[in-house]
Amino acid sequence: MKKRLGLLSFFLLSIISCRQDNQNISNLETFAKAYGYVKYFHPSDEASSIDWDKFSAYGAQEILKCRTNTQVINTLNDLFNPIAPSVTFSLSDNSPAYDFKIITPDNPLEYRITFWQHLGTNIGMNMNGVYESLRVNRNVTQNQKKLFDFQPEFTEIITKEIGNHLYCQIPLSLYCNDKNTYPKADSVPLKKLIKELGAFNYDSNKSAMRLGNIINVYNVMQHFYPYFDVVKVNWGKELNIALLKSFNDKSPEDHLQTLQRFTASLHDGHGNVFLKTKEYYSPPITWEWVENKLVITNIYDKTLDIHVGDTVTTIDGINSKEYFERIYPLVSAATEGWLNYKANFMSLTGDRNSKLKLTVNGKSIELFRKRNDYRRINENEIRYKNIEDGIWYLNLDKIEMDTINKIIPELSKSRAIICDARGYPAGNHELLMHFLKSDDTAKAWMQIPQIIYPDHEKITGYAKYDWIDLMKAKEPYLGDKRIVYIIDGSAISYAESCLGFIEGYNLAIKVGQPTAGTNGNVNPFIIPGGYTISWTGMKVVKHNGSRHHGVGIIPDIYVSKTIKGIKEHRDEFLEKAIEIAKK
């Protein structure tokens, strides 16, 4: 009987614990949504002056104390009222009405209207560039101009259900003068909040810091990642999963993986998470999947009793396929080619001098991670070569434009030019001008969203960019040669900008595999704990306006590696390019 009662008690406690975990996650999701709406869309002076990183962790810590919806509402009001006194939180069965008297001064003609405009975003970002965020009319002495023409009506309020019957109402516009936005926050709770944020210590509140990091990352992407229209992801569900994982993170490396899994769901080839204190080392080999087998492709230690072309069947006692299945969820990639490329080197990396146990062709092999140049892209060290009479090879990953200019006279006498675009071009896009018969006319293939409203609602337009001012046809004209481009999944970003001209103007025959399908300026940011998040803040399309993200540049002729070719140290992509060049 006692045993049954004990089991029943354990069962009941488990149910109660599970319900509380679910309530905690739900409360954190509610806070996360409110956090993003106020941070990025409410233009009060007080909200623009606090440490939002600390606020995310501090707020997460406070919201976890709540056990009822009433407590959640009270905590949200306590958190946000000092920095956003016109923002309201309430429990309601329906969307409540907003009292505009809260934000209307007695003498409105003596005030200006301020509101947020975002060209992408640069709030909390780590790089100055094409992305901007501006509170319009806030600093008139600096002659600030709007980022774009659109502005919200003064009466537009963000009304969102941020939890079960939990509503927030956030004004998009506020009156302001040279001194403050209206209404001005009560100085007593504001000073108290600022003092508590100043005293908040990440080292002694690591769990809250990690939860705050997830909340930060969620909101950057929720409001500004430009590819939700083509990437099929339930971002709200991913938030739920990431928050739950953060509760269980015990180390910086655990949290690194949580952040990697979270951002990988966005399928952004620029999506990376770096930990400042973590260095990456690899053993003296590279490998990749060929003919459904994990094959060693390079060996940098001649003393090893293994050979190029050997097959790896287990890694640290785990079947190779199963081992890679653990790597793939950590990789943010828009195409299979970039996924495989990143997984190939991520699967090799680890701590310095750490051991990697392999089964290679049935033999047990131990390797040690000592190399930190793990991310070699194009193994071919040749920059250029006259392959045979009239056929030239240019390795775009290595050759600088100055060198190309020196050999232009030889190229102009050639009958075929092979351009190896695997990897990342060495700043040599000027070569494309010699392939153009007339100046570039491809417009607006780079686009930055103009954002006033949250959740990607009612995008007001796009700031559009192109290379028209840059790409002018140049002599000598080389487009009369047979031009062959070699491409694969390692070509990303700037490489795809260049390849967009090859594709858009049909300047060459493309051989190989599809590219990474990710282009546009990155917009990195740093979060507490020493983590840097990289992501794509710009939408890029093909020259004809069709989708590029997740598609990439498609080859005219597909080429796949073979184990036989690897064993014979042959570059089968280049062989196919030479074959085409000879025709």
pLDDT in tens, 176-222: 999 999 999 999 999 999 999 999 999 989 999 999 999 999 999 99
Q: How many Å apart are CA 376 and CA 285, to the nearest integer?
A: 11
CB 422, CB 573: distance < 8 Å: yes
For residue 6, is pLDDT > 70?
no
For every residue of 186-243, DSSP letters joined together read PHHHHHHHHHHHHH--STT-HHHHHHHHHHHHHHHHHHH-TTTTTS---HHHHHHHHH
From the list 339, 501, 476, 337, the residue with the least C-alpha distance to 419 is 501
For every residue of 42-104, DSSP letters joined together read ---TTTTTS-HHHHHHHHHHHHTT--SHHHHHHHHHHHHTTT-TT-EEEE-SSPPP--GGGG-
Helices 2-41 and 69-80, packing angle to 10 deg: 30
As a whole number, mean pLDDT of residues 561-568 equals 98
Residue 11: predicted pLDDT: 47
**pLDDT tens digits for range 141-182:** 666 789 999 999 999 999 999 999 999 999 999 999 999 999
Query: Is residue 522 classed as helix, strand or coil in its secondary structure?
Result: strand
What does each C-alpha distance from 289 to 44, 307, 330, 454, 535 come to in angstroms? 54, 16, 18, 42, 27
Share of the chain above pLDDT 70, in %: 95
Coarse DSSP helix, strand, coil percentages of the chain, rounded to the nearest 5 percent: 35, 20, 45
Amino acid, single-letter form, for residue 479: G
For residue 13, is pLDDT > 70?
no
**pLDDT tens digits for range 380-436:** 679 999 998 899 999 999 999 999 999 999 999 999 999 999 999 999 999 999 999
For residue 42, is pLDDT > 60?
yes
CB 423, CB 86: distance < 8 Å: no
Residue 12: predicted pLDDT: 41
Q: Which helix (H) or strand (E) holds 429?
A: none
* Structural domains of the chain in order of their starting residue, each with its CATH number: 18-201 (no CATH), 285-368 (2.30.42.10), 384-582 (3.90.226.10)
In this structure, what token pair is assigned to residue 345?
Answer: 């080197």
Paired strand residues for 525: 533
Residue 495: predicted pLDDT: 98
As a whole number, mean pLDDT of residues 516-526 equals 97
Other beta carbons within 10 angstroms of residue 270's beta carbon come to: 24
What's the alpha-carbon Rg for the chain, to the nearest Å?
A: 28
Task: Identify the band that residue 105 occupies on the pLDDT scale cut at 50, 70 and 90.
Answer: very high
pTM score, whole prediction? 0.93
Task: Identify the band that residue 378 occupies on the pLDDT scale cut at 50, 70 and 90.
Answer: low
Q: How many Å apart are CA 243 and CA 255, to the nearest integer?
A: 11
For every residue of 371-418, DSSP letters joined together read BS-TT--------EEEEETTEEEEETTT--HHHHHHHHHHHHT-SEEE
Residue 363: predicted pLDDT: 95
Residue 483: predicted pLDDT: 98
